[in-house]
Amino acid sequence: RLVCGDAGFGKTEIALRASFVVSMDGKQVAILVPTTILAEQHYQTFVKRFEKYPLRVEVLNRFKTKSQQAAIVENINKGLVDIVIGTHRIVQKDVTFKDLGLVIIDEEQRFGVKHKEMLKKLRTTVDVLTLTATPIPRTLQLSLVGIRDLSVIDTPPPDRQSVKVQVCEFDEDVIREAIGNELAQGGQVFFVHDRVKSIESVARFVENLVPEAKIGVVHGQMKSGEIENVMLKFVHKEVDVLVCTTIIGSGLDIPSANTIIINRADRLGLSHLYQLRGRVGRSKEEAYAYLLIPEGAILSRDARKRLRVAQEFSEPGSGFKVASHDLEIRGGGNLLGISQSGHISAVGYELYTELMEKAVRELRGELPAEEEVNPEIHFGIPAFIPDDYIDDMQTRLVTYKKISMAGSDDVLSDLREELLDCYGFVPEQVENLLNIIEIRNIMKEVVAEKMQYDGKDMHISFREKSPVDPARILALSKGKLKGLRLTPDFRLSVPMPGLRDKEVMVRAKGLLEDLMKN
């Protein structure tokens, strides 16, 4: 059964009660969570709740040493552990429960495909309870997680107030006042900055802005011990302002934190903003969310829609309303996930949406406009997202979509940082993909249809309306690019024998830039 409810609506309480009933009946309970931080917090909650009962609760995640993990796994296999909480570590082959009765999964869609396959094996013999705050429609949840029953918690806790959401330009006075007001009430603040490269400088900025505040920093590239240390300090109110990436977006319950400031909110998706906003307002105190955008920024239409919806739907239990608007903004194409099969999967996302758009235009009787050039690039080098880098197929599809839509070097740079923060070191195949998209963008500027490297020559085919000056090509053939050939159908060939993968992209980009110069 899927239990869906907003942040702070009582999903953890359901998990506690279900675990208690099953474990007191002599069965074991496994609780899977998407992040190590959330695993640690659930562990503390369960231990405190069951301290008067003869139940043994353990946590299994990367915060534990190898020897500690081995001891816990041995006790699980012997049936000495009643409730185990952990990340994907608890579905690995060495963990074999003696008498498993219940599996509780927090946000199953955030686990990778391989881990889901392991979960499917468990489902044949045990009951499964899935908890989620992700505001996506019922039918989508059914297809993504393969369940049949759904329960929705839509009644907020007593005295729960709506979060006051304010969209504003980045302003020192606004930030200083927001943090100052929260600290004056004895509360704490999340300051979300989703760029690891510059997070330390942002932390120094906040420290200089509010010198009386104690600042902590958390991001996904820190060592597990460092993350645990800072988070414990924040939980125990030894840190006033937590400067962090979106690593805090899942399930953290800090009732004393009632203000969240999200820098560059225009870069985040609507559901992501909704999840982050759910980190505050978990007590009877009034909570505030500040969505910061750059001063004087010209936002895209979609970004403006996302921010407007995030501001308008601030009442508790607005998850499904937000979801419907998110679907409207992003379009149905982003809903293609691992459960899809048949022709959609066969033709791929981009071709599917292109075919749909053409069909709609035909039904409306609209004449097709001159198609934008969609460059083909054939370099014979590996350019893809490996399964072991992003193992969830749905997330991989969405990431491909983001990369494909990147229309500038700045957007590509942001994507590279996002990948580094979320998944670690960017492998060569993904770097190749990002570089190819950069080359594709330049090809669009020069109206080039195709670029190919055959091991000897670099070939480029242009459309008739290409802005490339033939005189420029002639000048290059006499100087920098000797041996350059141009056919009557505007196909250019340049000798470049024996290039390595990285050299191919560097030379291809250099060639296009040379052609663009006046």
In angstroms and rounded to an integer, the radius of gyration of the C-alpha atoms of the chain is 26
Considering its fold, how many domains does the chain have in total?
4
Shared domain check, 170 and 314: yes
Integer angstrom CA distances of residue 459 from 32, 454, 492: 52, 8, 6
Q: What is the pLDDT of residue 472?
A: 79
Cβ–Cβ < 8 Å for 97, 28:
yes
Say how many CA atoms lie within 13 Å of 298 toward its Cβ.
Answer: 0
Show the tokens assigned to 130: 């899935």
Is the CB of residue 415 less than 8 Å from the CB of residue 402?
yes
Give the pLDDT of residue 291.
94
How many residues are recorded in the chain? 518
Same domain for 69 and 195?
no
Half-sphere exposure of 346 (CA within 13 A, CB side): 3
For tokens 């006046």, what's the residue?
A: 518
SS3 call for 416? helix
Check whether residue 93 and residue 82 sit in a common domain: yes
CA dihedral angle for residue 412, residue 416, residue 422, residue 427, rounded to 10 degrees: 130
Count other Cβ atoms within 10 Å, centred on residue 453.
Answer: 22
Co-location of 474 and 419 in the same domain: yes
Distance (Å, rounded) from C-alpha 422 to C-alpha 219? Answer: 9
Residue 476 structural domain: 370-516
Sign of CA dihedral 400, 404, 409, 414: negative
Q: What is the C-alpha to C-alpha distance for residues 57 and 219, in angstroms, rounded to an integer? A: 27
266 and 352: one domain?
no
Rounded to an integer, what distance in angstroms lies between the CA atom of residue 76 and that of residue 240?
38
Read off the CATH number of the domain in which 286 is found. Answer: 3.40.50.300
- Residues 508, 379: one domain? yes
Asked whether 130 and 3 are in contact (CB, 8 A), the reply is: yes
Alpha helices (H) in 50-195, listed in sequence order: 66-78, 113-123, 138-145, 172-184
| CATH number for position 477 | 3.90.1150.50
With CA atoms as reference, report the closest residue to 418 among 264, 306, 251.
264
477 within a domain of the structure (yes/no)? yes
Same domain, 316 and 335: no
Give the domain-ending residue among 272, 307, 328.
328
Q: Where are the alpha helices (DSSP H) in 194-238?
A: 196-209, 224-235
410 shares a domain with 375: yes
Asked if residue 31 is part of any domain, the answer here is: yes
Last residue of a domain, one of 133, 153, 173: 153
The predicted structure's pLDDT at residue 278? 77
Q: Are residues 177 and 322 in the same domain?
A: yes
Around Cβ 144, how many Cβ atoms within 10 Å?
Answer: 21
Residue 158 lies in a domain: no
Q: Is residue 43 part of a domain?
A: yes
By CB neighbour count within 10 A (0-12 exposed, 13-18 middle, 19+ buried), where does 353 fall? middle
| 448-453 β-sheet, strand order | 376-378, 448-453, 457-462, 491-495, 485-486
> Residue 350: CB partners within 8 Å, gap ≥ 6?
404
User: Would 11 be classed as within a structural domain?
Assistant: yes
Q: Structure pTM?
A: 0.54
In a domain, 226, yes or no: yes
| Alpha-carbon gap, residue 367 to 233, rounded angstroms | 63
The pLDDT of residue 344: 43
381 touches 501 (CB < 8 A)? yes
30 beta partners: 84, 103
- Given a contact cutoff of 8 angstroms between Cβ atoms, the answer to whether 458 and 496 are in contact is yes
8 Å CB contact between 291 and 167: yes
Distances (CA, A) of 387 to 97, 344, 391: 28, 20, 5
| Residues 176 and 248 grouped into a single domain | yes
Written as one letter, the residue type at 364 is R
Whether residue 159 is contained in a domain is answered as no
What is residue 75's three-state secondary structure? helix
pLDDT score recorded for residue 147: 41
Strand partners, 2: 130, 150
- 310 and 362 share a domain? no
Helix or strand (DSSP H, E) at 58: strand 57-60
Cα 427 to Cα 404: distance, rounded to the nearest angstrom:
18
Name the residue with tokens 């992501």: 272
Q: What is the pLDDT along the chain (518 residues), one digit of tens a residue?
A: 778 777 677 888 999 999 999 999 999 999 998 877 788 889 989 999 999 999 999 999 877 888 999 999 999 999 999 999 998 888 888 888 899 999 998 876 566 556 656 666 665 678 888 887 654 443 344 433 344 466 777 777 776 677 888 999 999 999 999 999 999 999 999 999 988 989 999 999 999 999 999 999 998 788 877 887 898 899 889 999 999 998 776 656 788 999 999 999 988 877 678 778 878 887 778 889 999 998 887 887 778 878 887 777 655 555 444 544 444 444 444 334 433 333 444 444 445 556 666 776 667 665 555 556 788 888 888 888 988 888 877 788 888 888 888 888 888 988 898 888 888 889 999 999 999 999 999 998 888 889 999 888 899 998 877 888 777 787 887 777 778 888 777 888 888 898 888 899 999 998 888 888 76
User: Crossing angle for the helix pair 409-423 and 393-405, nearest 10 degrees?
Assistant: 160
End-to-end CA distance of the chain: 64
Task: Flag whether 134 is in a domain.
Answer: yes
In this structure, are 269 and 254 located in the same domain?
A: yes
Which one of 125, 153, 181 terminates a domain?
153
Q: What is the pLDDT of residue 49?
A: 94
